[in-house]
Every structure is written in structure tokens, then in C-alpha cells.
Structure 1
Amino acid sequence: MSTISSTTAVLAMMTLSAPAVAESWTPAWMASPQAVWSDTTVFDTGLPERIAGATIRQPLTLGFPAQRLRLVLSNIHGTRPLPIDAVTLARSIGGAGTEDPLPVQFGGASSTVIVPGAQVVSDPIALPAVAGARIAATLTYGPDAVAEDFHWDARETSYLIDADRPAPKILGETPARITLSMVLSDRPAQRVVIAMGDSITDGNGAPMDGMQRWPDFLAAALAEQEIAVVNAGISGGRLLSDGMGRSVLARLEHDALAVPGADTLVLLIGTNDIAWPGSPFAPQEAPMSLGRLQAGLMQVAARAHANGMQLILGTVPPFAGALPDTPMEATYWSPEKDALRRDLNDWLRRADFHDGLVDFDRLLSAPDDHIRLNPSYDSGDHLHPGAEGNRAMAGAVADTLVKGLEE
């Protein structure tokens, strides 16, 4: 055989054995995983007593359109295999009701087992949907399943049901996400924005089942511009230390840098780093310092920029009088903590290591009292914005993002 013929044969074999061209997938919805905690004296998990053999339906709103979808299921905090016996995806018609359910497969199989510390991605599901469409994923767990991985403050009701059918009997409800951590769309985006932060980003203070967190408003505003926005907030989150989830520095890789197509990170963090020390959340913890916060934020910037991502930071909103009528009221805020918050914000306004700044402090503070939330934006606990505050936040972020695109 001639050299040319041999080369042609080898190239033909390589072509036949080469994998299909990789497809591009865009995040259309997200709930950052947290480890399930055992100490429920401060916060109950909200989980069912057990998930072994249970069927749980989780409605959600897509923030980006699609022709096909893929589900991402998480056991990254698990210490044992998590068996999933069956999964379906359907259009949600309100409450636990669905229509036109489709089976979800994993490598062609109807069931899967997620090994400890891992996640699985489903095969594509043909379910055309517009941005804002309501869908529901229904998971039926194996007889040995144990919940070790969840998202606590989903701001959305999920349902423990008697069977995976369109009109099931509801056996219980939970405000948490269980196992389901992301939905991917086959439609490419011009930009993929990760909104990361603590409970203000996660949506505590927004109405349940209302889709009125600030990333929800932002996703709705930008979808027509082919910009995808997903929410990577965790209530109780901190920059430097683990709280009700891993610190931002610890989860940055999984929840932002490794998200398909992610090119912009909008980060609002620092409230709990400042407020928790000396409170019932962290009674023995030393007060936070400006230097530690500065170093942590600059490290986020270094890692984001090394991965080709833009970083938009937010100033920390005021929180005087936060959490009234709770054990946290007396120690969560203090004049010293507020001075640190203002020093951090002043430094952020002068800094040049980020790619943009959203001044949530000035946006949300009361006109005549800059240490407190504007009553018009306050959810009522003097810490978390309500729906109107979230709408204003989304508008400010959108302005910053659009300005960045134009420059």
C-alpha cells in the first residue's frame, strides 16, 4: 500500500472513531448545592423526614429559552451513593400539577446513581420553552436514598407526592430544592451571568413562589437580548468562611467558574462576614477586618479574570435594626460593624480591580438615614429587600451590564 493510501486509510479510521462535535449548553436555571445540616436548633432544613422511595416534584421558572433541556442532579455534598429510580420533566400548570410529562434518561437509562461528591447530567429532553416558562422536574428516589445535598431557601414550593402523575395527591411540601441543581438549554447565549451572593441574592424577603428575587427580575429583563442569568446565591453565605453553605471562595469554582458558558460574575457579599461575629450565628468569632475582606474580594477577582470572566461587584447594603424580635437583633448590627461596612463600600468605590460596581448601598438606603434600608424597599426585617427593592437592584445591575457591553 502506498504512503498516500496508508495515510488516507488512517485518516478515515480517525474520522469514523471521532466523537460528535461538542454541543453548546447554556444555564437556564440554577440552585447552588448546600450540605444538609444536622443541627436544626437555629434553622430547620425544611426537608421531608426521609426521601427513600419518595417522589418529589420541583416546579421552576426557566430564565432562558430552549428547544431541548438537560437536568443537572447533584450529590456533591453526599457521603454515600444517591440512587434515583426515575425522573420526568413536564410543563407546570400550577401547584403540583403538570402536563405532557417526558421521561428523563441518563446515558440511555431511566435510572442513575450519583456517586458521593459528584453530579450527573441528563440526556437532552425535547421540551421547547420560552424564557419565563414554568416546568417541573419530578424525581423518584431509590429505597436507600438519603438527602445530604440540597438548596435551603428556594423561594419556591416543591411537593412530596404519592406518584409521578399529572394530578397527584400531595403528601407534603418543602421550601427546599433537593438534588436538582441546574437546568441547561441548548440555545446559545450572547452572555451568561452568574449572580452570586448571600440571602439577599438567594431571595430571602421575596414572596414565596413569586419569582421576585433580583436575579429573577434581571433574567426576565435580559432574556430578549440573549443574555442568560442564573442565581447562585446561598442564604447565610459568606465570602471568607463557611456559613449555611460553603464560602464564596470555596464554592467559586463549582458555582461560577465551571458553569457552562459563564463569562460574567455579579457578586454581592460581605453582610454575614461583618455581622455574624459575636452574634448567635458565630458567638466566639473575632470581629471581621477590612484587610481580610479586601484580600478575599481581590482573590475572587484574580480567579475570575484568570478564567476570562468579568467581575461586577456590589456594595453592601445597610442593615441597622436587622432581624427584629429574633435572638440576632441585639448583636447582628452594631455601630462598629456599620463603620466596617461603610469602609468596605468606600474602598470598593475607589478600587480598580473589578470590571464594574453596582452601588446597592446608595440605591437601597433610606434617604434620611443611610444606615437603614429604605422602607419602600424593605421586606420588613430591615435586612432583606422585598420585591420592589429587588426590582430596583435588578435595574441597577442591568444598567451596569449594558454599559459594559457598550464600552
Structure 2
Amino acid sequence: MVKAGRVLAAALLALIGTTGAAAQTGAATATAPATATRAAHTAVSTAVRVEAVRVEDVPGSWTGTWEAAPSGTAPALPGAAVRNVVHLSVGGQLLRIRLSNRLGTAPLTLGAVTVALRGAAGPDAVPGTMRTVTFGGAPTTVVPAGGDLVSDPAPLAVPAAADLLVTVHTPADGGPATYHRSALRTSYVASQGAGRAADEDGSAYTATTSHWYYVTGVDVLVTGGAGSVVAFGDSLTDGTGSTPDTDRRWPDRLAERLRPHRLGVLNAGIAGNRLLRDGTGPSALSRLDADALSRSGARVLIVFEGINDINGRPQANDVRDFEAAYRAIVSRAHALGIRVVGATLTPYGGHGAFTAAREDVRQRINAFIRTGGAFDAVADFDAAVRDPAQPRRIRPAYDPGDHLHFNDAGMRALADAIDLGVLR
């Protein structure tokens, strides 16, 4: 709850009661067609006044609604504005943005950050929804190398399943840019970004990118919300194999199933990530706090990671190392009151990295996940997607062609294999 006397220096809602009603309307229309949702967005914007006000009491709790875990760095884009397109799981009355220079090597100057509801397509914003994001009341800030930052609350009510535009202008070369490489989502870049972050018209955003730059999360203030579920894993969670620009990763499908229960879903997957060693992004053990346990409202962690350790170099083939890592994750989560669901590792027979010896390691790891007693519950992804005729392989209907990842149907099968009762 945002307590009495707190000043939201970035422009808060002038009429709190009206905004609460608008947020409820947005939540109710989350599953409506896109045209109805955009109409709801416009209706919400009419209840907002861009002015600083003193709020006695805004009820609710902060819940994570979207996440992208930092996976590496890319060359900086000095002078540019990047308009990141992100898809929310749950809606709320207010929002705040998480930004990162975690993997950077120099201080990062943020010249302007804005947020808006996305229009029908492309980089255009829904008219009237553009908001300036502030940090301690200021529209600019500097993020130290290795640092993460959470913004002030921004006065924008958002419905569930909304597309959001988070625009970041970096006026100078801040060194390597912390990013999420495999976004599976088209975002937009204005090469001459000064003064463009607040443009509702996206015509200046003439270039595209398949990465998310700097933005690592969105939190919403939810009345009656139940918290969030963190999906923690590698490319199988990050969405490799699913259709780009359609939000059909298994965490997206899980968010659809959980929407009536007002639970957010956070995708902390990194393609190429490993459980035991650094690889693409820090190892699961080293990034656990930043990408999962410290996220707003986190109540359940789903761990689906380990296949890259089996297949990587050097190969991990001692099952005891996996057991110790899983137990460490569970212990750290339990210390914060977070329950943990273990997901079995899925088949990959036919993939170039497959060997009988590695399959034996996978089977022994899965036996531990199922029966070792480390987890609060188990999601048997292996059983959900394996081919009954060839259990070392995934079903052909779920295979995008590489025999390891999952197409949209396979992603749905993974999400449907999770018992919602253990998440609520």
C-alpha cells in the first residue's frame, strides 16, 4: 500500500475513486477483442490528470506483471530512443518500471523514460496515455554500473493483457547496454531520440530491434491481487520456437489461465542459460535473487532449467550437482516464503547434442525432481510433451523442427501441464 502523505512527483491521478473504477473496468475487459481493449485504454486515459498531487491513501499491493531477465550486453545506442514493446499479464491502478545497468561497465544516463499503452500496432501510443516516468521526482537519472533501478509510480491504469510501450532515451554513450537478447517481440528505435520519448505518434521510430534494451520489469498496483508466479529457466521458457510477436511462450499461456485469479506471471527465462555455470547470462544460482526472489509479489517459483548443463561444455553429468543446486534454490526461496515447483526436463532425441549418456543423466535428474522431495510440487513437463511411441523425443505436433524447443502447440501443452491449484 502506498501510505498517507507520499508525494508521487510524476503526476498522479486527480480522482482516485474514478481511477479505481477504471482499473476494474480494464480488468473486466482483458479477454475482450483488441478493439474493445483499446477503447478501454482510451476511457482509462480520460480519468488521468498530468499533475503532481498529494495522495492520502492509494490501496493495493505491488505485483510484477512483466519481466525480461538481463541476458547480456549490446553496443550502446547514444542519442537514440528505444521504444520497448512489452505484454502485461495482470492489470493495475498504477505502474512502475524496472530498468537495469546490471551488466554495464559505466554509469548509464537516462535522459528520458516514458510509458504508454500501445495503439493498434507498431510504435504508436494510445492517445492520452503517454506518461513521463520519474526517479525520485526527477525525469532523468544515472544508473551506476552493475545497478538496477525502480521508478516512481506512474499514473496510468492498465488492463490485463495490455501491450505497453516503455521508451528509454540515452543521450550519451553509457558503455555496453544491458539487454534481453531473445525478445521474440519487435520493438522500435528512433536514432535521433532527443525529445522523442514522449511522442504519441511513432513516426520517428523508423528502425526495429528484436531485443529489449534496459527495461527489465513492470510492476502494477493491484487491489485484491494475489501476487505473481515467476517462470525461471532457459530458452524453453524464453520462448524459442514459438511464433514471434504473438506472446505464445508457455508463461504467456499460463498467464491466460491465471487471469481470473489475478495472478501475474513473470518470464525469467534466458535462452542459453545454465543452472550451474555462467553461460548466456549469469547462472541460475547467481541470478536467482535479482531475477526471481526479489520481484514484486513473488509467491511461487517454477524452476525449469538444466538441459543446457547436460549438453554444454564442459558437460555436467553428476546428478548430485543438480540435486544440490535445486535444493539451494528451494531453500533460498522458502526463506522468503516463496513456494517452488520443479519442472521435469523435456526430451530432445533427434537433436544434434543428444546422446544416450546424456539421456541417462536427464532421466536421473527427472527422477529426483519427481520423487526427491525437494520441491513443493512438480510440473511433469516431460510426461506432457514426450512422444508415446518414442519417449526420448517430443511429440511431432509440438516440434518446430529442431527436436529440442517447442512450437506454439507445445508451449500450450507445457502451460496446461501445471496444476493451478499449487499456484494459488
- TM-score bracket, shorter-length normalisation: 0.7 to 0.9
| Matching of residue 186 in structure 1 with residue 221 in structure 2 | yes
| Matching of residue 383 in structure 1 with residue 404 in structure 2 | yes
Percent of matched pairs sharing the same residue: 34
Q: Is the 8 A contact 1:147 1:178 kept in 2?
A: no
Moved more, 155-164 or 122-131: 155-164
Moved more, 94-103 or 77-86: 94-103
| Matching of residue 63 in structure 1 with residue 98 in structure 2 | no
| Matching of residue 102 in structure 1 with residue 131 in structure 2 | yes
Partner of 2:421: 402
In the TM superposition, what are the counterparts of 1:4-43 in structure 2 within 5 Å? 24-36=61-73
Moved more, 142-151 or 81-90: 142-151
| Matching of residue 130 in structure 1 with residue 159 in structure 2 | yes
Query: 3-state DSSP class of the match of 1:186?
Result: strand
Report deviation, 1:191. Answer: 3.2
Partner of 2:37: none
Partner of 2:263: 227
Report deviation, 1:145. Answer: 2.6
In the TM superposition, what are the counterparts of 1:262-277 in structure 2 within 5 Å? 262-276=298-312
Report deviation, 1:403. Answer: 4.6
Report deviation, 1:21. Answer: 8.3
- Provide the rounded CA distance (Å) in 2 between the counterparts of 1:148 and 1:289: 36
Report deviation, 1:356. Answer: 0.5
Q: Is the 8 A contact 2:63 2:227 kept in 1?
A: no
Moved more, 61-70 or 170-179: 170-179
- Provide the rounded CA distance (Å) in 2 between the counterparts of 1:361 and 1:195: 16
Q: Is the 8 A contact 2:232 2:268 kept in 1?
A: yes
Moved more, 221-230 or 93-102: 93-102
- Provide the rounded CA distance (Å) in 2 between the counterparts of 1:317 and 1:242: 21
Query: 3-state DSSP class of the match of 2:61?
Result: coil
Query: 3-state DSSP class of the match of 2:360?
Result: helix
Q: Is the 8 A contact 2:112 2:168 kept in 1?
A: yes
Partner of 2:171: 142
- Give the CA RMSD over aligned residues: 2.1
Report deviation, 1:304. Answer: 1.2
Larger radius of gyration: 1
- Provide the rounded CA distance (Å) in 2 between the counterparts of 1:143 and 1:404: 44
Flag the 1:181–1:247 CA change in 2: closer, same or farther, 3 A: same
Q: Is the 8 A contact 1:75 1:82 kept in 2?
A: yes
- Provide the rounded CA distance (Å) in 1 between the counterparts of 2:61 and 2:5: 22
Amino acid at match of 1:218: L
Partner of 1:84: 110
Q: Is the 8 A contact 2:102 2:178 kept in 1?
A: yes
Which of 282, 297, 306 aligns to 1:246? It is: 282
Report deviation, 1:78. Answer: 1.6
Query: 3-state DSSP class of the match of 2:256?
Result: helix
Equivalent residues, number: 362
Amino acid at match of 1:26: T
**Deviations 1:12-61, CA, capped at 9 Å, x for gaps:** xxx999xx98973111110011232xxxxxxxxxx5x5411111101111
Query: 3-state DSSP class of the match of 2:160?
Result: coil
**Deviations 1:176-200, CA, capped at 9 Å, x for gaps:** 1110000010115213210100000
Report deviation, 1:404. Answer: 5.9
Flag the 1:293–1:265 CA change in 2: closer, same or farther, 3 A: same
Report deviation, 1:148. Answer: 3.2
Structure 1 spans left out of the alignment, 5+ residues? 1-14, 37-46, 277-281, 323-328
Q: Is the 8 A contact 1:66 1:130 kept in 2?
A: yes
Q: Is the 8 A contact 2:101 2:143 kept in 1?
A: yes
Q: Is the 8 A contact 1:154 1:175 kept in 2?
A: yes
- Provide the rounded CA distance (Å) in 2 between the counterparts of 1:148 and 1:96: 21
Report deviation, 1:220. Answer: 1.8
- TM-score normalized with structure 1 length: 0.85
Flag the 1:301–1:403 CA change in 2: closer, same or farther, 3 A: closer
Which of 413, 416, 419 aligns to 1:392? It is: 413
- Provide the rounded CA distance (Å) in 2 between the counterparts of 1:74 and 1:363: 36
Q: Is the 8 A contact 2:292 2:298 kept in 1?
A: yes
Which of 188, 203, 211 aligns to 1:168? It is: 203
Partner of 2:79: 53
Report deviation, 1:347. Answer: 2.2
Partner of 2:355: 334
Partner of 1:311: 340
- Provide the rounded CA distance (Å) in 2 between the counterparts of 1:266 and 1:287: 22
Structure 2 spans left out of the alignment, 5+ residues? 7-55
Amino acid at match of 2:64: P
Flag the 1:356–1:146 CA change in 2: closer, same or farther, 3 A: same
| Matching of residue 153 in structure 1 with residue 170 in structure 2 | no
Flag the 1:353–1:148 CA change in 2: closer, same or farther, 3 A: same
Query: 3-state DSSP class of the match of 2:340?
Result: strand
**Deviations 1:224-246, CA, capped at 9 Å, x for gaps:** 21211111111111110011011
